[in-house]
Amino acid sequence: MPEQDMQPASGRRHLAKTVALGGAWLAMRPGLSAADRTQASLDTILNARHFGAKGDGKSDDTKPLENAIDVAASRGTAVFLPPGVYRCAELQMRPHVSLIGVPAWDYEHGFGSVIRLADEHAGCLLNITGAFGATIDGLALDGGKLGKGVHGVWLNKPDYGKQEDTFRIERSQIANFTGDGVRLTRAWCFSIRHCMIAYNGGDGISLRGWDGFLLDNWLSGNTGAGFAARQENASCTFTANRIEWNREGILIAGGDGYNITGNFFDRAGTCGLAVLNGRQMTISGNFVKRSGKNAQPYTYDSSQIRLEGCRGITCCANNLEVGRDDNGEGVWSPSYGIVYKGLRNCVISNNVLDDGALAELLLDLGGHGDGAIVKDNPGCLAKRTG
């Protein structure tokens, strides 16, 4: 057995803790020379408070955080924000910098390490344009409903360039922005995991780009879609997310190479999942519930899943159910289960629609090419009143 495996559990935890602190414990040890202490300090994670950031919810912490990010960029290290509320104008992230905090936010509010927008004229709070390899981890980003069209995190490139973006957004809450929670314009290679992106005036996530991993997120209560890709888009893995109470659930226009698996869609204002002119996608193992809350009955927006003009789509083993608001309030919806039109080499099968729609389980609008297979989708209409 290797020596490290023989350490007691408490010893391994202590070692992990000291590594996570970036060697700060070393700098405080007695008997070290001044040079050794300086080197140990250079190797540590930078503390935003040491650059003058107050985190008191009143001071303007823009300049201290900018300085900390710039120094971190010169060393290829991280900036740590101790718990507090840091009021800031737009911050420009730098390549290979990690901006990290203590994630303590809950469903409604930001707690822990909070960065709160202080400039209603800003384009965004965190600008990650050109910040290749950057990480945002453990933060609550709060837009405070300031301004118009202000995004939480924004990547805004004029072209795709020659280098993958490879940024990561982890364990963060991005909420209350008047624009999109995360707006990605010509993004190339990224991941968003374990986040809550909610209550924004635009989409939760707006994507123009490709090669993304979106895993285990809450996309909740956004005025636009939970996730939307309206321009060129492709190659995204979308797994184990909860997409709830948005105006639209997921909207994908064009695009190809999606794997949409094991997600929970709940109470979208219009269609739960709409794919228009998409190609080569797998949609499987999702639960789509009570979509079309705000849609006019008997319109295509009053549906659980909508597939139009698609090729190479597999839509199998999903579960669809009607419903109304919590506590038995609100209207029952949607009218239709799966609406499909103009399919070619697509399969819609083995979906379960028990109480899956109010008017029609499968609405075939015709216009299909070769290889459109729709079969074995058991279910019944829901009989609901009141």
The CATH number of whichever domain residue 175 belongs to comes to 2.160.20.10
* 214, 234, 262 - which closes a domain: 214
300 part of a folded domain: yes
Number of H helices, E strands in the chain: 4, 35
Q: Are residues 256 and 382 in the same domain?
A: yes
Q: Are residues 200 and 252 in the same domain?
A: no
Q: Are residues 58 and 204 in the same domain?
A: yes
pLDDT for position 35: 57
pLDDT for position 17: 42
- Contact present, 374 and 362 (Cβ < 8 Å): yes
223 part of a folded domain: no
pLDDT for position 317: 98
378 part of a folded domain: yes
172 part of a folded domain: yes
pLDDT for position 19: 37
Q: Are residues 121 and 201 in the same domain?
A: yes
- Contact present, 192 and 180 (Cβ < 8 Å): no
Rounded alpha-carbon distances, angstroms, from residue 192 to 170, 211, 303, 371: 6, 12, 27, 35
Q: Give yes or no for a cis peptide into 82 (omega within 30° of 0).
A: no
Reference 126, options 98, 148, 106; nearest CA is: 98
CA atoms lying within 13 Å on the CB side of residue 163:
10
Give the separation between CA 192 and CA 173, rounded to whole angstroms: 11
Q: Are residues 14 and 90 in the same domain?
A: no
pLDDT for position 386: 55
Dihedral sign from CA coordinates of 296, 298, 301, 305: positive
Amino acid letter, 190 = F
pLDDT for position 44: 78
Q: Are residues 183 and 281 in the same domain?
A: no
pLDDT for position 384: 74
Phi and psi angles of residue 177, each rounded to the nearest 5 degrees, phi first: -95, 150
Q: Are residues 298 and 385 in the same domain?
A: yes
Q: Are residues 36 and 53 in the same domain?
A: no
107 part of a folded domain: yes
Q: Are residues 99 and 210 in the same domain?
A: yes
The residue whose two tokens read 């949409």 is 260
Spans in the chain with pLDDT lower than 50: 1-30, 32, 40
221 part of a folded domain: no
Q: Are residues 62 and 164 in the same domain?
A: yes
If one counts every other C-beta atom within 10 angstroms of the C-beta of residue 62, the result is 18
Give the separation between CA 358 and CA 337, rounded to whole angstroms: 8
Q: Are residues 374 and 275 in the same domain?
A: yes
264 part of a folded domain: yes
Q: Are residues 252 and 311 in the same domain?
A: yes
State which residues form the domain around 163.
46-214
* 44, 60, 76 - which closes a domain: 44
Total domains, the chain: 3
- Contact present, 204 and 175 (Cβ < 8 Å): no
1 part of a folded domain: yes
pLDDT for position 41: 55
